[in-house]
Chains A and B, each alone.
Chain A
Amino acid sequence: MPEENVDQDRQATRRRRRRLLLVAIGFLYLLSVPWYRSPSDALNILWGLPDWVTVAVVCYALVAVFNSLAWRLTDIDDGDALPLTLSDPADGPPDEESL
């Protein structure tokens, strides 16, 4: 397989994994807020904190790990600076391809 195709496959896999991580982060945020619990539930201490607080802390710790992985899978190609800048009066917008 040509090297270019291998690179494209690798990038597509990274993008797919990043999307999955971001979806998982969304679910963790939903789980972190105790909308599914009754306000009248008795206090139950888990790992030193009220159990609903422990759930939130665990969710946010997992968000941190997943988000860190998602950033490591994010590719930002700066490219080269265009010859024209905002200060140039004759400046037009760059082609989409150039960005």
Chain B
Amino acid sequence: MSFSEMGVVALVVYLALLLGVSEVASRMRRDGSPSDHFLGGRELGVFVLFLTLYATAYSGNSLLGYPGKAYRSGFHFIMSTGFMMAIVVVFHILVPKLRPAAVQRGYVTPGDWVRDRFRHDRMGGGLTRMVSVLMIVALANFLLAQLKAMGEVASLVTGDMIPYSWGVIGLAGMILFYETRGGMRAVAWTDAAQGILMLVGLMTLLAWLMSSAGGLTAVTESVAATRPAAVALPDAEGVANWFSTIALLGLASVIYPQAIQRVYAAQSGRVLTRSMAWMTFMPLATTLVVTLIGVAAIPRLELASGVASDGVMPALLIEWSEEGAGSRLAAVLVFIGALSAIMSTADSCLLSLGSVLARDFLGKTGTDARDTRLGKMLAALVLVFIIPIALQRDITLWRLIELKMEILIQCVPAFLLALHWRRQSAGATLVGLLVGTGFAMTATLAGTSQWGGVHVGVIGLFLNGCVVVLLSLFSGKADRVATKRVVVPAD
């Protein structure tokens, strides 16, 4: 059986499994409430929560964008292990205070926290809407990246028997179907299966790369001989960029709406802490592995002209598949693992988009089935708008991630600071958000993504934070009286 025939069979089996899982999940529904649909009735246990957090955090970007980035920048991309781990560290600032408030107040979306925290502040509504706009933009950007990656992988694994455009449209339709039927349960359970596939696929590919290259030392020596800059120590700008990337991704990723919703969806606080205790090891099993895969590709693909950064992983897999029937099957499984990672992130984005649009942007904070239906409808509409954009193939995944993070990181004060600082006011937070976002967007549109290695989003967050603190401290007495009454969870 050829590679593309195996690819088609594997894809069909995988999609049939997804349909089966979504059918079971839809039968487990208790009612049609937003909490039941968007948070799975808040009953995710340790195993499923851990795997859904894992599959959601590690996406098409991790499997296609990161090896490409490691291929381009060499061992410097070891920073990716640090920034992915930083997410689980930064969660210490968010989770212990947000989780009890979410359970006691029945939050469904991130905006529910902002609305509740600044409830008695006249600018609270505006702030909630602004935060939701930034989250929607970031989520739509993230979803777009996943749709593009889905099309690429479907086309590659089937040898273009399923063209890019069919892959984007067909798989997006599949996600919409199982997400609409099974909600968070379907998403979390498919994520769990997808997470396992992804992990097994990556380990197998790394083992092949290392054994065929003669071990880790041989790979490093070969990389040093092919491209000395890939093993050299970073200069001052490289060091600044390392710290900046850890800050950018570590801080912004905890504000992912889908990550926050998983904090709400855990069965209990204890389940959540145990899942986090496992999650912290996953960058070693995933990001470190894809970095080594990307670096190991440097001597292998150096002579291949026209290998774009997102194409490094597929190029390696196709090379692997040519070594025999066993390798072909393994390469197909890695492709399906990559596809499952991409789809697991896309489905989480879509689920969050529906709920954030309905509750945070339109203010429909009801608890009955009508509000759930509105969320589902909005998610479908978003897909209809995004698919035509995804059919354009000219933006790389890494740039999409950076853009999304530079926007999302500006929401940090509304969560991480507001959870801990009672005097913070909505007006100050809104002005800070506008200043930070305005700065980051202006610089990005002017073609500057970094200054001296530091991301414009991180500089924007610094300005944003200064504005929030200064305006909150010097705001009028009336505002201070109001802010004393707001919710700040106790230790």
Contacts and interface: CB of A to CB of B under 8 A. Distances in A.
Interface string A40-55: 1101010111101100
Interface in A33-88: 33-35, 37-41, 43, 45, 47-50, 52-53, 56-57, 59-61, 63-64, 67-72, 74-82, 85-87
Contacts of B79: 33, 56
Contacts of A49: 75, 216, 220
B479 to A, nearest CB: 16
B78 A86 contact: no
Contacts of B273: 71-72, 74-76
Nearest to A70: B92
B199 interface: no
Interface string B470-491: 0000000000000001111110
Nearest to B98: A76
Contacts of A32: 82
Interface stretch (B111-119, B158-166, B313-321, B396-404): B111-119
Interface string A6-29: 000000000000000010010001
Contact of A86 (B95, B105, B235, B283): B105
Interface in B66-97: 75, 78-79, 81-82, 85-86, 88-89, 92, 95-96
Contacts of B220: 45, 48-50
Contact of B487 (A50, A69, A80, A96): A96
B96 A76 contact: yes
14 contacts: A34-B233, A56-B78, A60-B284, A60-B288, A64-B281, A64-B284, A71-B276, A77-B100, A78-B100, A93-B116, A93-B485, A96-B489, A99-B489, A99-B490
Interface of A: 22, 25, 29, 32-35, 37-41, 43, 45, 47-50, 52-53, 56-57, 59-61, 63-64, 67-72, 74-82, 85-87, 92-94, 96-99
Interface of B: 75, 78-79, 81-82, 85-86, 88-89, 92, 95-96, 99-101, 103-107, 112, 115-116, 119-120, 215-217, 219-221, 224, 228, 231-235, 238-239, 242-243, 246, 268-270, 272-274, 276-278, 280-281, 283-284, 288, 365-367, 485-490
Given A49-B216, A50-B75, 14 more contacts: A43-B231, A45-B220, A47-B216, A52-B233, A53-B75, A59-B82, A60-B82, A68-B280, A71-B273, A74-B96, A75-B269, A76-B272, A82-B106, A96-B489
